Structure 1
Amino acid sequence: MTTTMMNCDGLSAGYGRGRACVRDVGFELRPGEIMAVLGPNGAGKTTLLITLAGLLTPLAGTVELDGVRIKPGSARTASKAGIVLVPDDRALFTGLTVTENLRLARRPGGTTIAEVIDYFPLLGERLDVSAGLLSGGEQQMLAIGRAFMQAPKVLLIDELSMGLAPVIVESLLPVIRRFVDERQVAAVLVEQHVHMALTVADRALVLRHGEVTTTGAAADLAASPEVLERAYLGHAAGTDSVVY
């Protein structure tokens, strides 16, 4: 029987006066599995990720890693347990070089700098360059490589494509797939480019107005665009659209 890596049960979260913008979210993640979290802007995707990472105290529900409950609202506990977040702003030390950024992130059991370069060969040519001088794509490679250095059990990636051309995103997503497969970690991927996300994910969860509207195998959802449209937009589609 496959071991559950992360179990999220009945998770609700929000900001100020107990107002929930994510309600009753539940899922299980297994080693070697990627779950794409999809949904329109304002659906609660980032709120879900930062709650899983311990940066926001949940209003209800639990998060477990390897069967051990993670202390609510404790980023330190979540990080020590192996939950590693790549935020949408990348949070690099822009005045430090690529090498220095990677060295600061290193934990026992994490990748080496040489292994990061194997995943992202372009970084090998930029090791002595300040992170602030990198292109957007190179900065994202560095942010992800830094997460690899932290020996994640569960990798949380928020808006991988933020500010990047689709061709760059297409080159990054297979690296995530490769890392998850080789290291047998689990990953939660928040992404606006639905088709790209479903190409590398095993499962997907769609949030709308903070609630789960649909879950399923990524391949099944990719083959049923009408199901995704309904999950995103409900019966009254309005002016939004699903980005394929």
Structure 2
Amino acid sequence: MTGELLTCEGVDAGYTTGRPVVRAFDLKLLPGEVTALLGPNGAGKTTLLMTLAGLLPRLGGSVALDGRQIRGGRAREAARRGLVLVPDDRSLFTQLTVRDNLTLARRRHGSTLDQVLDFFPALGKRLKVAAGMLSGGEQQMLALGRAMIQDPRVLLIDELSMGLAPVIVEELLPVVRRIAEDTGTAVVLVEQHVRLALEVADRAIVLVHGETVLSGPAAGLAADPGRLERAYLGE
């Protein structure tokens, strides 16, 4: 037993057979581990997360959870197995209340509302408010809470900071770290705020034009910003 929760080997991701956007992507995730997936716009990060979540057919390679293969392009199967995506648009039911958004996402015998509110106590005072009336930060809390109430094994978070002020991002990212540590959930975090992402991550991977150009412990990469900059520039 390796203890690995999620294993990706040689994954090709994209929209057209024979023309992958992301090529030969490898990843091994342990329970409770946070991996920051970094790179410039257009690198293929969102495409990769959508592929892992089964929203796009996998063009090549394999994905396994707990050593069992997950078929590509089967979003419902992936979610049932515990691969849960928080998309960059949050995809909330804006006309429904916070409570209703969480109740609809909850699985039988899954996490309770109180358990979710333990991570996001600010939502406790907003349970009767329509999701569309929340602030951007509150909407992101709800999107994360809706994912957590599904009891994910692996949480795929796409651009948590989208449309948010940096001070809000600084508050939310440590909660992601706490979720991983307290629940054993593995996290793949796509984030443009590189410094903040590296502060909460265990490891980091840099994608450029669909290729993995750099990977390693997050602390080591944070200590060498010049190396990161060169990776972003493709040097």
The alignment's TM-score, normalised by the length of structure 1, stands at: 0.94
Counterparts of 1:186 and 1:116 in 2: how far apart (Å)? 17
* Equivalent in the alignment of 2:147: 147
* Equivalent in the alignment of 2:204: 204
Counterparts of 2:219 and 2:142 in 1: how far apart (Å)? 29
Q: How far did residue 15 of structure 1 move? A: 1.3
* Equivalent in the alignment of 2:6: 6
Alpha-carbon RMSD:
1.0
Retained in 2: the 8 A contact 1:110–1:152? no
> Residues 5-37 of structure 1, C-alpha deviation per residue, up to 9 Å, x if partnerless?
000000011113531110000010000100000
> Residues 25-57 of structure 1, C-alpha deviation per residue, up to 9 Å, x if partnerless?
001000010000000000000011000000111
* Equivalent in the alignment of 1:104: 104
Q: How far did residue 111 of structure 1 move? A: 2.5
Q: Secondary structure at the match of 1:12?
A: strand
> Residues 166-186 of structure 1, C-alpha deviation per residue, up to 9 Å, x if partnerless?
000010011111111011110
Q: Secondary structure at the match of 1:41?
A: coil
* Equivalent in the alignment of 2:86: 86
> Residues 151-180 of structure 1, C-alpha deviation per residue, up to 9 Å, x if partnerless?
000000000000000000010011111111
Retained in 1: the 8 A contact 2:9–2:25? yes
> Residues 180-213 of structure 1, C-alpha deviation per residue, up to 9 Å, x if partnerless?
1011110100000000000000000000000000
Retained in 2: the 8 A contact 1:108–1:151? no
Size of the alignment, in residue pairs? 235
Q: Secondary structure at the match of 2:94?
A: coil
> Residues 122-147 of structure 1, C-alpha deviation per residue, up to 9 Å, x if partnerless?
11110000001101100000000000
| Structure 2 gaps, min length 5 | none
Q: How far did residue 110 of structure 1 move? A: 3.4
Q: How far did residue 2 of structure 1 move? A: 5.5
Retained in 1: the 8 A contact 2:123–2:138? yes
Counterparts of 1:42 and 1:189 in 2: how far apart (Å)? 16
* Equivalent in the alignment of 1:118: 118
Counterparts of 2:202 and 2:94 in 1: how far apart (Å)? 34
Q: Secondary structure at the match of 1:219?
A: helix
* Equivalent in the alignment of 2:159: 159
Retained in 2: the 8 A contact 1:110–1:148? no
* Equivalent in the alignment of 2:40: 40
Greater mean deviation of Cα atoms: 2-11 or 141-150: 2-11
Counterparts of 2:90 and 2:44 in 1: how far apart (Å)? 19
Retained in 1: the 8 A contact 2:17–2:59? no
Equivalent residues in 2 for 1:55-74, closer than 5 Å: 55-74=55-74
Instruction: Using the aligned pairs only, state the percent identity.
Output: 64
Counterparts of 1:23 and 1:17 in 2: how far apart (Å)? 12
Counterparts of 1:27 and 1:106 in 2: how far apart (Å)? 28
The alignment's TM-score, normalised by the length of structure 2, stands at: 0.98
Retained in 2: the 8 A contact 1:21–1:44? yes
Q: Which contiguous aligned blocks of 4+ residues in structure 1 show a shift greater than 2 angstroms?
A: 108-111
AA in 2 matched with 1:46:
T
AA in 1 matched with 2:216:
G
